[in-house]
């Protein structure tokens, strides 16, 4: 067995045998890995404090490709103390983790960098709803159900975009819009595109008015409901406890 150092975040933990745990660690190098933390539930174990959900660090492991790896030690990169001490931040980060893990099951892509960047930005104090929505729209691409945000989803027109439609899967131009279509604010239309293209690591400031934020969140909830069916329950719970209006109920 060879020892490897991998960068990762614990996304879930399960008790195993008398005193151990099995951790699922989302790693930069290998995607999601099952890692056994032997003896980590015993009070004097060095692994006790780091064998918990949301530990972010360098994991030294005996790496096995096809079965459980074994944890040796962890060098913490960031304690995520702001996230861990704030129920709102925790609820967003838990949802982000659940969603990313679910999407990973449907894709070969390693989503670690987006996951890490999103959590770090929430830790640094950026608006968790905006960060969550940015990640959600990026993940739609991975899921293969990206809305059309470069041109009208019906005719391909790149000009005169007047709204965005869940049913039609993206932008709608003035020639294609009907009285049935909900007209979203012009800024919502632009922000959806900006959210998709922005590099999460490079965001240093986020200012979006509450009504626009809520409209974007509502659009994405409806879109997820229509095209993915993923994790709407946990998302509507999150919306409820954080007081966001959302039509999506499940």
- H helices of the chain, in order, are 81-84, 87-105, 112-123, 128-142, 186-197, 210-227, 232-242
Report in angstroms how near the CB of residue 188 gets to Zn ion at its nearest: 18
Among 173, 128, 167, CA closest to 151: 173
> Applying CB under 5 A, does 157 fall inside the site for Zn ion?
yes
Among 133, 112, 127, 150, CA closest to 224: 133
Report in angstroms how near the CB of residue 168 gets to Zn ion at its nearest: 9
> Applying CB under 5 A, does 188 fall inside the site for Zn ion?
no
CB nearer to Zn ion: give 155 or 247: 155
Q: In the 3-class helix/strand/coil scheme, how is 172-220 assigned residue by residue?
A: EECCCCCCCCCCCCHHHHHHHHHHHHCCHHHCCCCCCCHHHHHHHHHHH
Indicate the helix (H) or strand (E) that contains 161: strand 161-165
Residue from 32, 96, 130, 176 in contact with Zn ion (CB under 5 A): 176
Region from 6-14, 115-123, 150-158, 226-234 binding Zn ion, contact rule CB under 5 A? 150-158
Report in angstroms how near the CB of residue 183 gets to Zn ion at its nearest: 15
Region from 26-34, 43-51, 104-112, 144-152 binding Zn ion, contact rule CB under 5 A? 144-152
Report in angstroms how near the CB of residue 157 gets to Zn ion at its nearest: 4
d(CA 88, CA 32): 26
| CA atoms within a 13 Å half-sphere pointing along the CA-CB vector of 38 | 7
CB nearer to Zn ion: give 161 or 208: 161
CB nearer to Zn ion: give 80 or 176: 176
3 state DSSP class of 4: strand
> Applying CB under 5 A, does 167 fall inside the site for Zn ion?
no
> Applying CB under 5 A, does 152 fall inside the site for Zn ion?
yes
Region from 9-17, 64-72, 160-168, 175-183 binding Zn ion, contact rule CB under 5 A? 175-183
> Applying CB under 5 A, does 166 fall inside the site for Zn ion?
no
Q: Summarize as ranges the residues that interact with Zn ion (CB under 5 A).
A: 152, 154-155, 157, 173, 175-176
């Amino acid at each position: 067995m060879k020892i490897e150092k991998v960068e990762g975040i614990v996304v879930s933990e399960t008790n195993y045998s008398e005193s151990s745990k099995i951790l699922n660690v989302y790693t930069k190098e290998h995607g999601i890995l099952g890692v056994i933390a032997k003896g980590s539930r015993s009070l004097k174990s060095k692994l006790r404090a780091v064998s918990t959900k949301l530990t972010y660090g360098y994991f030294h492991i005996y790496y096995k490709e096809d079965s459980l790896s074994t944890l040796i030690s962890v060098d913490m990169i960031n304690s995520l103390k702001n996230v861990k001490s704030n129920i709102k931040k925790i609820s967003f980060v838990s949802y982000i983790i659940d969603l990313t893990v679910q999407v990973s099951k449907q894709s070969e892509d390693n989503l670690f960098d987006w996951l890490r960047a999103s959590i770090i930005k929430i830790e640094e104090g950026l608006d968790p709803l905006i960060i969550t929505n940015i990640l959600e729209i990026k993940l739609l691409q991975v899921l293969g159900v990206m809305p059309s945000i470069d041109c009208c989803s019906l005719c391909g027109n790149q000009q005169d975009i007047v709204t965005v439609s869940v049913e039609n899967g993206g932008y709608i131009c003035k020639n294609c819009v009907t009285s049935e279509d909900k007209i979203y604010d012009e800024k919502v239309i632009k922000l959806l595109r900006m959210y998709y293209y922005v590099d999460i690591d490079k965001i240093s400031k986020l200012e979006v008015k509450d009504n626009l934020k809520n409209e974007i969140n509502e659009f994405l909830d409806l879109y997820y409901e229509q095209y993915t069916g993923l994790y709407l329950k946990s998302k509507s719970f999150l919306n409820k406890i954080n007081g966001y209006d959302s039509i999506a109920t499940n």
